[in-house]
Chains A and B, each alone.
Chain A
Amino acid sequence: MNKILFLLVFILGGCSHSVHLVNIGDFDQKEKFTAGKWVKVETEQTVVLGFKFDTNYVELAHKKLIIECKTGDIQGITTRYSTSHGFFHWTNKINMQGLCLN
């Protein structure tokens, strides 16, 4: 019984996430979806016991997305803010993906 309980804890305990919000930016109607390519970046911040003093990973995601599409417009940017849970620590994540139109 105890072995089953132990197994259950490890199977059910790990790898849970919470998606807080997903935002979608607007699309410019002059260009079609097929004209561009999708670019994607993800940044994260590990927080231990709730101690975190900045949210700079958001600006970092923004800069990385621009690097992925330096010379084009980036439209329809989907921003996902989520947290991956862990044992006395968690990881906040920002995932940005958009349509790069040159």
Chain B
Amino acid sequence: MKYLILLMLFSSCAIVHHVQVGDIESKKNYVRMPFEMKVSETGVDFREAGKLAQVVANNQAGNQIKQIADIIALFQMGPMTGNPVFNEKYADGLAKSIYTKCPSGNITGLVMIRETAKYPIVSGEIMKIKGFCLQKKTKRKNKRKS
């Protein structure tokens, strides 16, 4: 059993929940420069914490922790994608921050990925955005070797 718990502690999982792809445009004399931005928030699975504590701790303490986890679960009812987080607004500034990556505003091929990096008890609830910034091609100076 202890080896199983150790195995769990080193396990992780990557889960994709939602993907969206936008229009992709290309222009003459423009180059598509890729950019990527990621925001994440830590999610906590109290039920898993309770189960793990029940296995690891002694009988009385383990049962108490399981009870707390069950009570907490009653306060966290509702549909869930990934683990619950304590700040829902962590991805609100993503659209505005695209401007820092592409000040010209020539943005195309936006891909939005909602994913979870799951570890025992905690998880990273990730919002990733990728896209292309269209930049004008610079003229190359041809250097001839003499």
User: A residues within 8 Å of B by Cβ?
Assistant: 5, 8-9, 12-27, 29, 31-33, 38, 47, 76, 78, 80, 82-90, 92-93, 95, 97, 99
Contacts and interface: CB of A to CB of B under 8 A. Distances in A.
Interface size class of B (residues with CB under 8 A): 35 or more
B12 interface: no
20 contacts: A17-B87, A18-B79, A18-B88, A19-B114, A20-B114, A22-B94, A22-B112, A22-B114, A24-B20, A24-B94, A26-B110, A29-B106, A38-B96, A76-B95, A84-B88, A88-B74, A89-B77, A90-B77, A90-B78, A93-B88
5 smallest A-B Cβ distances: which pairs?
Answer: A90-B78, A13-B75, A16-B84, A17-B88, A21-B18
A19 B125 contact: yes
Interface of B: 17-18, 20, 22-23, 25, 41, 46, 64, 68, 71-72, 74-88, 90-92, 94-96, 98-99, 103-108, 110, 112, 114, 125, 127, 129, 134
A97 B92 contact: yes
A98 to B, nearest CB: 8
Contacts of A25: 22
A15 B89 CA distance: 13
Contacts, number: 130
A80 B77 contact: no
Contacts of A92: 79
Q: Which of A9, A22, A33, A95 gathers most chain B CB within 10 Å?
A: A22
A15 B83 CA distance: 13
A17 B79 CA distance: 10
Given A22-B114, A85-B80, 12 more contacts: A5-B68, A8-B68, A9-B68, A16-B76, A16-B84, A18-B88, A27-B105, A33-B99, A85-B76, A85-B77, A95-B92, A97-B92
